[in-house]
Amino acid sequence: MTLSERNIIFKAGIAVSFLFLVLCVAGSFKAIPVYASMEQEITRHSEGVFRFLAGRFLTAKLPAVHCCILVMVLYSFFTIIFIYYFFEKTQSPEILFIVFFVASFSTEAMRLIIPLGHVYDLPLLYFLISSRIILFGRFFGIFSIFAASLYAVGYETQRQNNVILILIVISLIISLGVPIDTHAWNSSLNMIKGYVSMFRLIEIGTFLVTTISFFIAVWLRSTGEFSYIGAGSVLVFLGRDILLNTDTWAGPPAGLIFLSVGTWLICTKLHKIYLWH
């Protein structure tokens, strides 16, 4: 893939993330007023280590979940812009897949379909479609950063389009095959889905292999910057997990800090590696 073709994808990512940002902001005016009544309907809490710890001291608040969603959509939009200008003239096979990972956060705006459903009494099909879009975004995102780690350890192919197609197909198979209960949702505005434990293992396994691959790249390519990139991947995975599952006010600042620092480490060190290549 040429530099100009890759930059076109970056621009498309900016446009798509901006569209989700507009949808998120527009939906906020209708969603926020109904959270008080919806909190009385919460029967299931979200999962995750951070939620488990924070839940011991803080109660679930749907406005905090809304803030997490807005943080992720804003993060996606501004980070892609940052990457575009930072890497506009710098070729790096990893950065394309990092952008896909960042862009995947935009689809979290679809979680607002739950409060909007309370306002407009939407058909259940809307909830199903939105949930599958969210699932596709999440798995496409984590598989994309995994692909970036493969390029870091020396995977060489000029046919990035084929890799992208494989990631899309795998993510579609998973997102379309997961059973979803459109009648139930948890405290982080996620619809209840099946095979939770299995897919949690997939996420954890992908996280571990990705992080290890970046650290292996330090040895294989004799480049110490990959150790910082590996540390950055740990931070972005932690930030992602917090923002996806939190339902308290402790989540938005913690998740944003982890995401921001991790992304900064990944991007600045990748830029340093490839700046003179």
Q: What's the token pair of residue 186?
A: 């948890």
Kindly report the average pLDDT of the chain as a whole number: 91
Distances 273 to 158, 161, 168, 172, 224 between C-alpha atoms, Å: 19, 23, 28, 33, 10
Q: What are phi and psi of 48, to 5 degrees?
A: 115, 145
Which is higher by pLDDT, 239 or 2?
Answer: 239
Confidence at residue 157, expressed as pLDDT on a 0 to 100 scale:
63
pLDDT confidence band for 276 (50 / 70 / 90): low
Comparing 56-60, 186-190, 233-237, which segment has the lowest mean pLDDT?
A: 56-60
CB atoms under 10 Å from CB of 16, counted, come to 16
**Cα–Cα distance measured from residue 122 to residue 126, given in angstroms and rounded to the nearest whole number:** 7
- What's CA 194's distance to the chain center, in Å? 20
As a whole number, mean pLDDT of residues 236-252 equals: 92
Domain definitions of the chain by residue range: 3-274
**Cα–Cα distance measured from residue 85 to residue 246, given in angstroms and rounded to the nearest whole number:** 32
- In sequence order, the 6+-apart residues with CB closer than 8 A to the CB of 221 are 152, 153, 154
CB 198 within 8 A of CB 173: no
Helices (H) and strands (E) in the chain, counts: 11, 2
Confidence at residue 236, expressed as pLDDT on a 0 to 100 scale:
96
Which is higher by pLDDT, 18 or 60?
Answer: 18
Nearest to 129 by CA among 142, 116, 115, 110: 110
**Cα–Cα distance measured from residue 98 to residue 108, given in angstroms and rounded to the nearest whole number:** 17
The secondary structure of residue 158, as a DSSP letter, is S
CB atoms under 10 Å from CB of 167, counted, come to 20
Q: pTM for the complete prediction?
A: 0.93
Confidence at residue 3, expressed as pLDDT on a 0 to 100 scale:
86
Q: Please count the residues of the chain.
A: 277
Percent of the chain scoring above 90 in pLDDT: 69
**Helix (H/G/I), strand (E/B), else coil: 181:** strand
Write down the architecture of domain 3-274 according to CATH.
Up-down Bundle (1.20)
- The tens digit of pLDDT for each residue in 97-156 reads 999 999 999 999 999 999 999 999 899 999 999 999 999 999 999 999 999 999 998 877
- In sequence order, the 6+-apart residues with CB closer than 8 A to the CB of 244 are 48, 68, 108, 138, 188, 190
pLDDT confidence band for 52 (50 / 70 / 90): low
